[in-house]
Amino acid sequence: MHTDAPPRPYVDRYAPITDADRRAFAEQGYLLIRGALDEPLRAEIENAVDRVYAAEERAGRLSPHGAMHTLGAVFRDEAFTELLDLPATFPHLWGHLGWNIYVHHSHIDVNPPVPDDEPPAWRWHQDGYRQNADLAMEPRPMFSIKVAYVLSDLSEPGRGGTLVLPGSQYSNTLERTEPGPDGHYPRPPGTVEISARPGDAFLFDRRLWHSRSPNLSAITRKMVFLCYTYRWIRWRDDVTINRHTPWWNGLTPLRRQLLGDGDEAASHFGFTLESGVWDDAIPLRAALKSRGLLDHSQHYLR
């Protein structure tokens, strides 16, 4: 159930998530985290978004109405590095997915007010692309969790807030509603529009049925999305890792892991070829192990 009193952000990236948070995420498929970004960091991230936007505009890659959907966000500006293991959100990623994870997909969305002539569209979807076609099971595995960082004031309806259907992550299909006389599709019953303030974040199960709503306000919607998945799943974005830059060499081992680094192919499957057992040198596993946070009762935290 969506409430206006969500969990307080965690202050330690290795703090285990609470039973209440785990239960809420499992039941509704998403979790809203108020104040995930303090104002200095929110402003820094928004400035980075504006720099990317200006570069895309110069390159002629914006939509005719000035909207931007740019992939590979975490490699577009060094400021986004701070989001990789943000204490307010990171516990939810390893807490639900385990230690063998990385960010395989990230994007920046900038959505100015929609033009009057924009045609109605059905935008409801699950993330995952062929993961939703190649696996014949009900429900399909979660595989990934996406974190959305809200930089604009989306606290009022009509500002392009994300629509979600709580609990729908356990259903492989969603029946399309019939368009009305004006051609617009009514929202599916039970739809919630996430009401978020600047600096808030929300995370959601990739299977959760969700949609962007039209921005009918005078505010430009700005958001950054990071999608975490298992290291044995391929990149979604076309990115190139340059391991010889000062930026890369200044990263922590954990952040390198989260950006797709690995010593050998077997490492991405969580083990070493030499030993045939779990690789304790994988940075997130090493950090959790040193803190006694591995849990053999949870298969993904073994």
Give the pLDDT confidence score for residue 6 in this predicted structure. 56
* Among the listed residues 122, 148, 143, 115, the one whose alpha carbon sits nearest the alpha carbon of residue 234: 143
Span 54-65, pLDDT tens digits: 999 999 999 999
Residue with the bigger pLDDT between 277 and 225: it is 225
Average pLDDT over residues 167-183: 95
Look at residue 38 and tell me whether its pLDDT is greater than 90: yes
Burial 265-291 (b: 16+ CB within 10 A, else e): eebbebebeeeeebbeebbbbbbbeee
Span 187-200, pLDDT tens digits: 999 999 999 999 99
Residue ranges in 202-245 assigned as alpha helix (H): none
CA-angle at 255, arms to 261 and 228, nearest 5°: 80
Query: What is the maximal distance between C-alpha atoms in the chain?
Result: 65
In the chain the domains, ranked by start, together with CATH numbers, are 19-265 (2.60.120.620)
Span 83-117, pLDDT tens digits: 999 999 999 999 999 999 999 999 999 999 998 76
Give the pLDDT confidence score for residue 118 in this predicted structure. 78
Span 157-174, pLDDT tens digits: 999 999 999 999 999 999
